[in-house]
Amino acid sequence: MRRLVARTLARPLVLAAAAAAIPPASAAPAAADVVVGGFPVDVSQSPWTVALSSRDRFGDTRAGQFCGGVAVGRTAVLTAAHCMSEEVLGTAPGRAYDLKVIAGRTDLLSKQGTEIAVRNVWVNPGYDGTTNVGDFAVLTLAQPLPQTSVIAMAGPGDPAYAVGTTALVYGWGDTTGGGGYAHGLHAARVHVLADAACREAYPGGWGGTYRSESMLCAGEPAGGRDACQGDSGGPLVADGRLIGLVSWGDGCGRAGSPGVYTRVSDIVRTLRGDRGARARQQGA
């Protein structure tokens, strides 16, 4: 299966976009491997990792979590654009009135941390739901997070994008590739892969097309460690900086089918360009 998760295209990695697809917490396997091939972590180790929640859409199970996100400003959270689609939310982003960001919570079943309302949703106008190009959105929070919960974005030319760099992907998604969702935060250690390897894995057609200008590939040649359904929009971090957002892939942890992430340097370029365009309009 191609996962947008809420990974999807061949499908992005969203929780299959229906609450019914998420088993009750009691049916989830013991928290051994979430984010396929991963290990449990405390949110204090990655305070910028947040969960997106809509209890109206996904119910109280697992606090309504359906995607991940990452705080890049005290009131700014990045996530995948496909997580904000009407297919996932059941309505337009601006009409999902119970949409919240859960910060500072390791176990979704606990009362740890805070749940913050989303005041505004900006979806990248360049996002293409067919190709997954430009798969990112910015959520503006109704109240600020601590500065210690914010991670820096790696811009163009940052050495964190170098092939072979060790990175960590975080999320509360499927731990098995077969619908076994955990309620505790997990991380998986992966490596940044060469663009050539990713183009070979995803040359086009049903399996999707890898485009290096806006995408980043990470995983292991033999498979086994990867993001999965429910992890979409979550962070890929290397050298203490954000380099990717979970976007899509073919299956979870399969050999020869690495995870594809939205390249954060492209997000930085896009947001800088948008700010510049607005400034020019205001000065006209």
Catalytic annotation, pick one of 232, 247, 257, 265: 232
Catalytic annotation, pick one of 135, 174, 226, 231: 135
Residue 232 annotated as catalytic: yes
Catalytic annotation, pick one of 33, 53, 54, 82: 82
DSSP helix/strand/coil, 149: helix
Residue 183 annotated as catalytic: no
Would you give the DSSP letter of residue 36?
A: T
Residue 110 annotated as catalytic: no
Residue 87 tokens read as: 């297919």
Residues with catalytic annotation?
Answer: 82, 135, 232
